[in-house]
């Protein structure tokens, strides 16, 4: 699927894959251009399911940056049930957080994303 998206010019900011059984996975995709991804995926015959509630937080890497993100969420009554982070090696980070659908808007507000 990633090759197919690249082949039709869809640039991804991030993605993550989570197994949801022995033969299936949930692939969360953060495209640079959401309407383009939806259109090109449809034209390529790719079936998309979602959206699923996840947030991509990017920023300058510094000690405690991700800890501060997490500290702001309980105050907004948001529970993170899965997450994945990476340092880009050039002073920045990306952090994907999965939240419950009914907590998504509170998470967005708490994080300012």
Does the pLDDT value for residue 108 go beyond 90? yes
- The pLDDT confidence band at residue 112, using thresholds 50, 70 and 90, is confident
How big is the chain, counted in residues?
113
Q: Give me the residue spans of the domains in the chain.
A: 2-43, 54-111
Q: What is the pLDDT of residue 43?
A: 86
Check residue 99 and give its pLDDT: 92
CATH superfamily of 54-111: ACT domain (3.30.70.260)
Residue 88 has what pLDDT?
86
Q: With 80 as the cut, is the pLDDT of residue 20 above it?
A: yes
pTM of structure: 0.74
DSSP letters spanning 20-71: -SSS-EEEEEEESSHHHHHHHHHHTT--------EEEEEEE--TTHHHHHHH
Task: Give the model's pLDDT for residue 53.
Answer: 79
């Amino acid at each position: 699927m990633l090759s197919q998206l690249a082949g039709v010019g869809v640039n991804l900011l991030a993605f993550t894959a989570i197994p949801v059984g022995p033969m299936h996975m949930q692939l969360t995709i953060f495209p640079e251009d959401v309407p383009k991804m939806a259109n090109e995926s449809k034209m390529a015959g790719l079936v998309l399911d979602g959206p699923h509630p996840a947030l991509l937080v990017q920023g300058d890497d510094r000690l405690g940056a991700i800890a501060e993100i997490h500290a702001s969420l309980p105050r907004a009554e948001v529970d993170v049930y899965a997450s994945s982070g990476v340092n880009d090696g050039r002073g920045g980070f990306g952090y994907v957080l999965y939240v419950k659908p009914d907590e998504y808007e509170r998470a967005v507000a708490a994080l300012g994303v």
